[in-house]
Amino acid sequence: MEGRISAEWDTLRKVIVHKPGIEMFFGLLDPHASLYERAFSQNAALKDHDRLVYALRKQFGVKVEYLLENIKKYGERDDKAKKAIVDAAIEKINFVGDSKECENARKELKENIDTYDIDYFLNIIMLMPRMVLRDSKGIEAIHINVTERDPLSNLYFMRDQQAITDKGIFLSRMSKPQRRNEPDLTKMLWKMMKLKIVHESTNPGTFEGGDFMPMKEFALVGMGDRTNRQGVEQMLKHGLGFGEVGIVHQPAHPLIPDNELDPMVNMHLDTYFNVAGSDIVLGSETLLKKADVEVYEKEGSSYTRSKKVISLFDYMKSKGFRIINLSTLEQLSYASNFLCIRDHTILAVNSDNIVKSVLRNIASKARSDKRRYGALFRQAKKEYLEFKRSGQIFPHKKDLYQSGVDICAVDLKDITGGYGGAHCMTAAIERR
């Protein structure tokens, strides 16, 4: 059933993606401020995205649909859907400056609603422009200054704007202001598709979909920099029907000083842990052993917390899962951010094409702040030299092949520069 998922290893049938557009250009003007990991080529990133979609469609027969194309399709054939798009755009655009000119601009926009196409209004929602209008002497001498306000440069990470649970769609409230408006667009599509939305995260709660992992009999929900305690409480109250839920505390990276932590290196649960099948998971053992899990059990219509706290490593072992370890450099190179297609079959990032870019980025950080990133860089460099010697780096790992996992590796060298891999870039809405 679309809009409900109970296990990450059930066969993937349908995903929604977003191929980046002009908003990525604005994001690349300042990658760090846009929450990107590093600078990268936009043209190459778009080719990477096409490769991801091609593999899903042609190799695995997954139905792949595009976010904006779907919204546009509904808007063109349904007046109510078009009104929702137009109203959202009018709410997002901001006219400031000369009061008379602002009034005229708003009036002209509303009078020409039927003249503009739907792409026009979608661009407003994506870029959220502020129009500064200032009158001057002379006929039609109007100065205009257009500013983009937090354009949705991370929208292509379609996992995060919602979680698809066993009950339905749980809408996110993003932690960072750069991403706060993204769920407005995905919510619009889910409503047009008539999928069940069980809850919309509300302030002061924050929640992001990369922190959710359905495991059939239980579920995991990450808590830390992106998903806070209030967001977790809303998820437990409204979003889940699983018999048990493990709340995973985002671990501090042991190679970064405690007083200068960098939560971006493992911002979501799926950046250091993922599921390859009904009995096998992959993750950084270093982080899994440091990640505390609060266990909640279903009692009637609510959850009760168990007194025990256990590491994520031990928790998964207790559930009968085999754990394949990822090194520090593999984890930083998006090895855990693969997409499970079906039980024991994954679509993975080709990490060996990314490690050099990731290592250069860590080296740059270490040069700027040796105390904070020096130990992380030394470990990553040591592992890189070992990979060159052994020829084994994710997904080309002997223990992964021996575990019976089939792997399709896709080159996503540039697009991962935005800080995410195949799992982050896909909103899985149907598994069977």
Collapse the DSSP code of 62 into the 3-class scheme (helix H, G, I; strand E, B; otherwise coil) and give the result.
coil
pLDDT of residue 141: 47
pLDDT in tens, 49-65: 999 999 999 999 999 99
Q: Across the chain, what does the average pLDDT equal?
A: 96
Q: What pLDDT does residue 259 have?
A: 87
pLDDT at 308: 85
Task: Report pTM.
Answer: 0.96
Give the H or E element holding residue 64. strand 63-66
Instruction: Write out the E strands in 231-375.
Output: 244-249, 273-277, 280-283, 292-299, 302-311, 322-325, 339-342, 345-349
Q: Quote the percentage of the chain above a pLDDT of 90.
A: 93
Regions of the chain short of the pLDDT cut 70: 136-143
Instruction: Check: CB of residue 170 under 8 Å from CB of residue 239.
Output: yes
* Tokens 């009995």 belong to residue: 279
C-alpha torsion angle, residues 267, 245, 163, 340 (rounded to 10): 80
Structural domains of the chain ordered from first start: 12-70+152-431 (3.75.10.10)
pLDDT at 143: 66
